[in-house]
Amino acid sequence: MFTAQGARLLPIAVDEFGLVVEELANHSSERIKLALVTPSHQFPTGAILSLPRRLQLLAWAQQTGTVIIEDDYDSEYRYGSQPLPALQGIDRSHSVIYAGSFSKVLFPSLRIGYLVLPPSLVSLFASAKWLSDRQLPLLDQQVLTDFIEEGHFERHIRRMRSHYDRNRLVLVQALNDYFGNRATILGENAGIHLMVRLHTTLSDEAIVRRATEVGVELVPAKPHYLNTPPQGEFIFGYAELTEQQLHEGIWRLAQALLK
């Protein structure tokens, strides 16, 4: 999307605390106009941007006059500890455009999302929206409003959070049981996917082929890297599968890869 608009993309490293903000500062000579981040659950590594990094990122944005787009997908599903405040909620300098979506918490074909904008950008975005998309799904929005106001949305999130948490724990347990130290699990504390780094000499293509042969679909993380991607990283979504399928899938995968 950004390159289609003529933007030059600048990849920044992500570690277990999320975006490495110092790397942004090292690019001070470049005119960075926009930083796109997914702080609640970095896609695809699953890292959660820590509070010190959030404050550091906001300070950098304020100093350099850069706008941050906070794509807060997956923020509803945080396990084990309280969610951290959104960048938009602690921003004092109107640097953050917050983007939320109902695709993952309800269903993707709903096609409803929302933005929380700095006051100075509201009329610009309203004009752009009016130009690009005049017919809105009003009925869907009204139904969704009732769904939220009557408390169903909050109940739905609570129910789904414990359902996904159970799936997540089954997946983590199965990975530990069948792969042990042959796999490193990353980003398991939020969202509806985690990432697994497989320690094997097999190529990603060979891993996917062997997985397919035993009926397991594996999604490589490779296409999400702008720089040279590491080997053996895969995205494991656990929202749609049953506990039995998750357990059996990992067992089959271990049989296929560790033989």
In the complex, the residues that contact ligand PLP under the rule CB under 6 A are 38, 43, 71, 73, 101, 103-104, 108, 113
Nearest CB to ligand PLP, comparing residues 101 and 173: 101
- Please report how close the Cβ of residue 89 comes to ligand PLP at its closest, in angstroms: 18
Q: How far is the CB of 103 from ligand PLP (least distance, A)?
A: 3
Q: How far is CA 129 from CA 72, 115, 132, 196, in A?
A: 20, 11, 5, 39
Residue whose CB is less far from ligand PLP, 60 or 73: 73
- Least separation, in Å, of the C-beta of 41 and ligand PLP? 8
Kind of pairing between the strands at 67-71 and 34-37 = parallel
Take residue 69 and report the two structure tokens written for it.
Answer: 């787009």
58, 125, 206, 249 from 239: Cα distances, Å: 32, 33, 26, 14
Query: How far is 43 from 152, CA to CA, in rounded Å?
Result: 28
> What's the rounded Cα separation, in Å, for the pair 82 and 59?
23
Query: Other CB atoms closer than 10 Å to residue 6's CB: what's the count?
Result: 6
* Residue with Cβ nearer ligand PLP (100 or 253): 100
Distance CA 63, CA 25 (A): 10
Nearest approach, Cβ of residue 81 and ligand PLP (Å):
21
In the complex, what is the shortest distance from the CB of residue 4 to ligand PLP, in angstroms, rounded to a whole number? 16
Output 113 or 230, the one with its CB closest to ligand PLP: 113
Q: Which CB atom, from 106 or from 214, has the smaller least distance to ligand PLP?
A: 106
